[in-house]
Structure 1
C-alpha cells in the first residue's frame, strides 16, 4: 500500500466554515485530482476513506463538506438543510466552487485535470459545476440525478456517469428519465447505470449513527460494482500516466 498523507482543511462556503478532508498520494509531483462529495447528511468517515482510497490510486482527493463541519444524522434536520440547497443551484455551485478552489490551490494538484465524484447531494454539486461550465474531466454521481435549468446541460464538457438503484424511491423512474432526457438534449457524453434491487444510498454502509429512512439501505455487492465503475471512469478520463 502506498503512503497517503491526509489533513483537515477549513474554507468558507455558503456562509459557513467548511471542514474538508484532503488526501495526498505518495510522491512530490503534480497529480490529477478528484472532488468527492458526500450524501445529504454530510461528510463522514465513509467519504474520508474513499478519498484515502483515491489517493492510494494516485489522485489528490478532497472529500468536501456540505454543512460547516456537521454530520446531520437526524433525517428531519438533514432535509431542513438540504431541500433549500437542492432548490437553489447557485448555492450548490458556490459550495462546489469553494471546494474546487481548495483543491486547485494544493501544490500537488494538476489544476487542468480535475474530476468530480459525488453521492446524493454531493453528486448534484458536481453536476451543477458541470452545468456552470467548469472544465472538469469527468463527473460521476451516485443516486444524485438532478435536472438543471433549461439549456445548461449543454455547458457540460466532460463525460458524465450516473448510478442509481432500481428501487430507489427518491430517484424513481420519472427522475431517471428526466435526467437522461436532459443529458441527451444537451449533447453530453453520458451513461446511466441502474443497479437492480438497490435502494437509495445503496453504496453507503450503515454506521449505527444514523436513523434510516424507508427506501434507504445498503447493497454491498452493488456498492462494490459502483465503486469499480467510478474508478474505471477516472482511469478513462483522468489517467494517471498522462
Structure 2
C-alpha cells in the first residue's frame, strides 16, 4: 500500500534561500494543491504536520518558508522582520509567488486547482496573492484580517474564508471590520468566523519560548478552525468528482 510522502524543497525568495516542506498524497496522478503559510515565527513542525494531513486527504501541499530556513522564536526579531513585511504588499507577493511557482512545478500538482491557506503572516501572503489576481480556488486565513491597497481586493477571483479570535488584540474588531468592508465593497464571496473567547494564534499549540502579548492556545477552537479549513477545501477544491457531488448534496438546503 502506497502512502503519503514528503520532501524538503529549497527555492529563492525575498533575498533568501527558503526551505519549504512538500507533502504528496499516495498515487501518481495529478491532484488539487494547497499552498500553506505559517505564522510570523516561520515554518515549524506545526505547519509541516498540517501539510502532511492535507496530503493524507489527497492534496498536494506545500508549507512555505518565511525566513530563509529559520524559525524566529525571539518576539523582537520576529516583529522586526514581519512588521515591515506586512506593510509591503509587493514583498509579500514575491514570497507567495516564489512558493506558488514551486508548487505549480510539482508534477503531481494540477496547476489550475490550487488554494491558499495561511496563518498570520502566511495568511496575509495568501490574501495578497488573491489581490494580485492569482487564479486560486479558495483563500483561507486564520489571524490575518489585514486590508490591502485600495481597490485591489476586486481582483480576488475565489471565495475567501477568514477566522479570528474574538479576544485577539492584534486583529482587533476595528481591523476585522475594515477587512470585511474591503471584501464586501470588492464583491468578494467572503465569510468571517469569530471564535468566542480566543486570542491571537489560538490555533497554534503552546510554545516553549516567549511570545508577543495577546497570544494563547484554545484547543477546542483550534480543532474547529482546522475543520473549517478542511470544509472550505472540500467545497471549493474537492479531491475527486465523487467528493464534489457528495459535498454539493450536503450543501443543498433541504426543502
TM-score by length of 1: 0.98
What is the distance in 2 between the residues matched to 1:131 and 1:151? Answer: 9
- Deviations along 1:106-138, one digit per CA (max 9) or x if unpaired, are 000000000000000000000000000000000
| C-alpha RMSD of the superposition | 1.0
Checking the alignment, whether the CA contact within 8 Å between 1:123 and 1:140 is kept in structure 2 is yes
- Equivalence for 1:77: 77
Tell whether the 8 Å contact from 1:120 to 1:143 is kept in structure 2 after alignment. yes
- Does residue 1:241 correspond to 2:236, yes or no? no
Question: SS of 1:72's equivalent?
Answer: coil
Report the equivalent of 1:232.
231
Q: Is 1:29–1:108's contact at 8 Å kept on the other side of the alignment?
A: yes
Q: What's 1:39 paired with?
A: 39
1:124 maps onto 2:88 in alignment: no
Distance, in Å, in 2 between the alignment partners of 1:152 and 1:78 is 27
Residue equivalent to 1:182: 182
Structure 2 residue aligned with 1:217: 216
Give the match's secondary structure for 1:23. strand
Does the CA-based 8 Å contact 1:31-1:108 persist in structure 2?
Answer: yes
Cα contact 2:2–2:27 (8 A) shared by 1: no
TM-score, structure 2 normalization:
0.93
Deviation, 1:206, is 1.1
Maintained 8 Å contact 1:2/1:56:
no
Which residue matches 2:89?
Answer: 89
Q: Distance in 1 between matches of 2:189 and 2:8?
A: 34
Paired position in structure 1 for 2:195:
195
Residue in 2 aligned with 1:11?
11
- 1:19 Cα deviation (Å)? 0.1
| SS of residue in 1 equivalent to 2:154 | helix
| Alignment coverage as a number of residue pairs | 241
Highest CA radius of gyration, 1 or 2? Answer: 2
Deviation at 1:3, TM superposition (A): 1.3
Partners of 2:42 and 2:4 in 1: how far apart?
A: 23
Aligned partner of 1:57 in structure 2 is 57
Gaps of 5+ in 1: none
Counterpart position of 2:98: 98
Distance in 2 between the 1:204 and 1:4 partners?
24
- Return the offset for 1:2: 6.9
